[in-house]
Chain A
């Protein structure tokens, strides 16, 4: 005998996946590295959405974007551009820095 109710959990799962992917409409942000500084040094993003962060290194030397609280670590070679996915995040402040020039390359991400 067929049991049509078996479809229900599957439908629920499909619904959940569609709903969660719809909620995660990503926000795009740009970050520059120039003379071992981040530009801008403060980024603001809405809470609860995925963020696509494009980092362009205008310096000739490589830099490593690092944030402990965001758990992100990524090398950007000189004169290159990389993409980093963050979030969705809860409201709060996340510090980030350039590991190769920690004295000057500092910034923070504000989630509201």
Chain B
């Protein structure tokens, strides 16, 4: 029961943390609940579809289909998170003005909620399909359905509570700083996901590792400890990173960061400089 709970917790945690960051980043935006809820449901549905076809996926591309799939899912999420941050920089001023006018209550306008909703869907899909496979395996081997249910619910509850705690923590941040904080969180989240994608591609032997375990902090902070895991998800902490993971991380971080700086300049400033 405890083993089941732990596995469920591990698989749920990443999606729960990503959803809480996305919820905080879209605070006060009209219709965000519907968008993010749709992303979540779509992710759950697709998890079942992917789990159903897992056999085909695993043997596809000469046995590395799953790694390839994971890398695509991760890199899509990275792209959308980057896109969201850049868009927000571009429109941040208008939004700030609007928020002041409306007394912070509701922010209308076409913020890229579809991007955030898709990120939620991808986050759920990635871990969800593995979870569905695992639960299906346990169920079909008949190892006590009651234990499974209890363990699974426990894992789910603890995972969701952790995400909720992060969300509540983020809500304590003053409104005028929340945007900067969530942008920063999304920036590091994207870089970390990019490094995970690199690991998938190395495992599939599609890209070189450029050096194994460039540093080793696994005795200092093991990646499978709770704190290590949280850091792994939030800022991409890896105890024994490959060279290529560091490269993916730094490139993602700097590309999104530079794009954010470039897009922060508004048209009048650009004209003034020309």
User: Which residues of A line the B interface, CB within 8 A?
Assistant: 50, 52, 54, 60-64, 68-69, 71-85, 87-89, 99-100, 102-103
Flag if A74 contacts B140 (CB, 8 Å).
Answer: no
Tell me the smallest distance from the CB of A53 to a CB of chain B, in Å.
10
Chain A residues near B242: list those with CB within 8 A: 71
* Closest A residue, CB atoms, query B59: A80
User: Which residues of B line the A interface, CB within 8 A?
Assistant: 3, 7, 54-55, 58-59, 62-64, 66-67, 130, 133-134, 136-138, 140-141, 199, 202-205, 212, 218, 222-224, 238, 240, 242
* Closest A residue, CB atoms, query B202: A85
Chain A residues near B240: list those with CB within 8 A: 69, 71
Tell me the smallest distance from the CB of B71 to a CB of chain A, in Å.
13
Q: For the A-B complex with A62-B133, A62-B137, A75-B58 known, give 15 more contacts whose Cβ atoms are closer than 8 Å.
A: A60-B141, A61-B140, A68-B218, A71-B240, A72-B203, A75-B54, A75-B66, A75-B133, A76-B58, A77-B54, A79-B55, A80-B58, A82-B66, A85-B204, A100-B138
Of A52, A54, A61, A64, the contact of B130 (CB 8 Å cutoff): A64
Chain A residues near B218: list those with CB within 8 A: 68-69
Flag if B62 contacts A83 (CB, 8 Å).
Answer: yes
* Closest A residue, CB atoms, query B129: A75
Complexed CA–CA distance, A89 and B240 (Å): 13
Tell me the smallest distance from the CB of A18 to a CB of chain B, in Å.
14
Chain A residues near B130: list those with CB within 8 A: 64, 75
Tell me the smallest distance from the CB of A106 to a CB of chain B, in Å.
14
* Closest B residue, CB atoms, query A63: B137
Q: A64-B130, A82-B59, A100-B134 are in contact. Are A74 and B67 (CB under 8 A)?
A: yes
* Closest A residue, CB atoms, query B130: A75
Chain B residues near A72: list those with CB within 8 A: 203
Q: A75-B58, A81-B59 are in contact. Are A62 and B134 (CB under 8 A)?
A: yes
Of A52, A62, A100, A102, the contact of B54 (CB 8 Å cutoff): A62
Q: A77-B58, A78-B55, A81-B59 are in contact. Are A62 and B136 (CB under 8 A)?
A: yes
Flag if A100 contacts B64 (CB, 8 Å).
Answer: no
Q: A62-B133, A100-B7 are in contact. Are A82 and B212 (CB under 8 A)?
A: no
5 contacts between A and B (CB under 8 A): A62-B54, A62-B137, A68-B224, A79-B55, A87-B212
Most buried by B among A72, A78, A83, A84: A83
Complexed CA–CA distance, A78 and B55 (Å): 7
Complexed CA–CA distance, A84 and B54 (Å): 16
Flag if A83 contacts B63 (CB, 8 Å).
Answer: yes
* Closest B residue, CB atoms, query A83: B63
Most buried by B among A76, A77, A79: A77
Chain A residues near B204: list those with CB within 8 A: 85
Of B66, B137, B199, B205, the contact of A78 (CB 8 Å cutoff): B137
Flag if A83 contacts B224 (CB, 8 Å).
Answer: no
Q: A69-B240, A78-B55, A102-B3 are in contact. Are A84 and B133 (CB under 8 A)?
A: no
Complexed CA–CA distance, A52 and B58 (Å): 16
Flag if A54 contacts B134 (CB, 8 Å).
Answer: no
Chain A residues near B141: list those with CB within 8 A: 60-61
Complexed CA–CA distance, A35 and B59 (Å): 21
Q: A71-B199, A74-B203 are in contact. Are A81 and B63 (CB under 8 A)?
A: yes
Q: 10 closest Cβ contacts across the A-B interface? A: A83-B63, A85-B205, A61-B137, A77-B54, A77-B55, A82-B63, A62-B133, A62-B137, A80-B58, A82-B58
Flag if A60 contacts B140 (CB, 8 Å).
Answer: yes
Q: A62-B137, A71-B199, A82-B59 are in contact. Are A99 and B7 (CB under 8 A)?
A: yes
